[in-house]
């Protein structure tokens, strides 16, 4: 149960922050957003505010912000359909009433002849009481009314494609940027809580029932040499221990100006990975000294976010390189099932470890969404940049076909990765 809750919370936070970035920048650009959804599948909760329906959906594996655009507008009006219209003082339609479950007065009943709610924004209809044919324009703020619910018709000026290249670029990039911002915030909080390990080979703590405790190592001891080899820093110390193997170590240490030599033999620490495999390393049972500060954790948080971003980007490049040279394997990827298993393992190690894992996942989500793959933010950004460079949008039919290919590609990859996860963890 803990694993399931951890997975829902972690994914919920990551997706909410990502989609919130899109929503905030879209609304700042004046783009109407009919829906903000966390999760996929059937709705389990909804709340409408300022023409945006906020929903939580059943499956905690994604989310989206539905932005108004010409392709997203669905016209429920058909020729011969009888509806009721409410107009303003300029005879512009403010409400198109699709049923009789309403409390509007002073309305006109008509039979639709023709309509366009995407470009020309009009309804041509015949009034039932006198048969006169009239062409009505839609007001800037106009709604469909059905089951006592108002659904605003997006004016052309409030649609995604009507905004400048810069506003569209920032709206699309805001999701990944918010993931990087979340990672920075989480890493910074962790540094404030735990501090940052120093690079120096100084003992910060000694674990119980370990060779270091038995040999008498103490907090503050500085490791100078191991078997006569000079220790430069913490990484150097770890490398020497691994290289020496399971053999006795003579370690020269200093503390408060006093020197002494301790002897110990490293032990093997075995770690089981979520996929069932194990890794081994030699340890003596000490942790690094922690550095703290008032403002330094902010800088460290930024550095850690950058380090993780470059690491993940390099791994992604290597993965695509493996596709080219024929060494690619789906074992390189984790789908929702694999991430759930990893999250379950991480959650068992405590809240601090889970927060760090969430920060790493957030960086990963930001990087992956910036990949130039159609249907991802990076692919849509490419279309916007194309328009910015060539001063004209890509042919709509071509763009839609590319998007369709991208969706099918991602769907196929998701199915294969999920099946691979199921085989790895359950079969």
Interaxial angle between packed helices 165-194 and 296-325, expressed in degrees from 0 to 180 and rounded to the nearest 10? 120
Tokens representing residue 109 in the block: 């009943």
Helix 296-325 vs helix 351-369: angle between axes, to the nearest 10 degrees?
A: 50
In angstroms, the first-to-last Cα distance of the chain is: 21
Which residues, in sequence order, are CB contacts of 40 under 8 Å at separation 6+?
57, 58, 59, 61, 62, 63
Query: What letter does residue 274 receive in the DSSP assignment?
Result: T
Buried b (16+ CB within 10 A) or exposed e, 81-119: eebbbbbeeeebbbbbbbeeebeeeeebebebeebebbe
Q: Cα(207)–Cα(286) distance, rounded to whole angstroms?
A: 6
HEC-encoded secondary structure of 279-320: EEEEECCEEECEECCCCHHHHHHHHHHHHHHHHHHHHHHHHH
Distance CA 422, CA 407 (A): 22
Judge contact between 229 and 211, C-beta under 8 A.
no
Q: How far apart are CA 351 and CA 337, in angstroms?
A: 21
Angle among Cα 352, 355, 359 to the nearest 5 degrees reads: 140
The question of whether 120 is a catalytic residue gets the answer no
Q: Which of 19, 73, 272, 289 is catalytic?
A: 19
Contacts for 424 with CB less than 8 Å, ≥ 6 apart: 275, 276, 331, 338
3-class secondary structure, 230: strand
Q: Is 267 helix (H, G, I), strand (E, B) or coil?
A: strand
Question: How far is it, in rounded angstroms, from Cα 192 to Cα 301?
Answer: 9
Q: Hey, which residues are catalytic here? A: 19
């Amino acid at each position: 149960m803990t694993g399931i809750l951890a997975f829902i919370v972690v994914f919920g936070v990551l997706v909410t922050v990502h989609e919130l970035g899109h929503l905030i920048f879209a609304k700042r650009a004046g783009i109407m957003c009919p829906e903000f959804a966390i999760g996929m599948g059937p709705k389990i909760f909804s709340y409408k505010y300022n023409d945006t329906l906020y929903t939580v959906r059943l499956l905690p594996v994604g989310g989206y912000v539905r932005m108004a655009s010409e392709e997203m507008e669905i016209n429920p009006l058909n020729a011969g359909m009888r509806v009721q219209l409410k107009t303003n003082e300029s005879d512009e339609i403010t409400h198109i009433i699709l049923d009789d479950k309403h409390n509007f007065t002073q309305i006109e009943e008509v039979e639709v002849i023709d309509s366009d709610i995407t470009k020309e924004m009009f309804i041509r209809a015949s009034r039932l009481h006198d048969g006169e044919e009239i062409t009505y324009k839609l007001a800037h703020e106009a709604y469909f009314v059905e089951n006592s619910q108002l659904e605003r018709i997006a004016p052309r000026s409030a649609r995604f494609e009507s905004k400048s290249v810069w506003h569209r670029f920032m709206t699309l990039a805001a999701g990944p940027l918010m993931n990087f911002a979340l990672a920075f915030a989480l890493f910074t909080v962790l540094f404030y809580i735990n501090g940052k390990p120093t690079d120096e080979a100084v003992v910060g703590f000694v674990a119980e029932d370990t060779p270091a405790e038995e040999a008498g190592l103490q907090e503050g001891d500085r490791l100078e040499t191991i078997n006569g080899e000079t220790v430069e820093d913490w990484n150097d110390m770890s490398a020497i221990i691994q290289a020496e193997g399971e053999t006795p170590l003579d370690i020269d240490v200093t503390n408060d100006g006093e020197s002494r030599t301790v002897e110990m033999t490293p032990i093997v620490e075995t770690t089981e990975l979520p996929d069932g495999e194990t890794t081994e390393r030699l340890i003596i049972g000490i942790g690094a000294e922690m550095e703290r500060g008032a403002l330094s954790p902010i800088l460290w948080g930024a550095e850690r976010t950058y380090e993780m971003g470059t690491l993940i980007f390099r791994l992604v490049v290597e993965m695509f390189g493996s596709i080219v040279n024929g060494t690619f394997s789906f074992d390189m990827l984790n789908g929702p099932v694999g991430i759930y298993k990893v999250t379950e393992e991480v959650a068992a190690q405590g809240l601090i470890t889970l927060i760090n894992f969430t920060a790493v996942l957030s960086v990963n989500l930001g990087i992956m969404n910036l990949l130039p793959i159609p249907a991802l933010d990076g692919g849509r950004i490419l279309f916007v940049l194309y328009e910015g460079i060539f001063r004209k949008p890509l042919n709509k039919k071509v763009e839609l076909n590319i998007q369709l290919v991208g969706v099918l590609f991602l769907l196929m990859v998701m199915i294969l990765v999920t099946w691979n996860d199921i085989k790895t963890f359950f079969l």
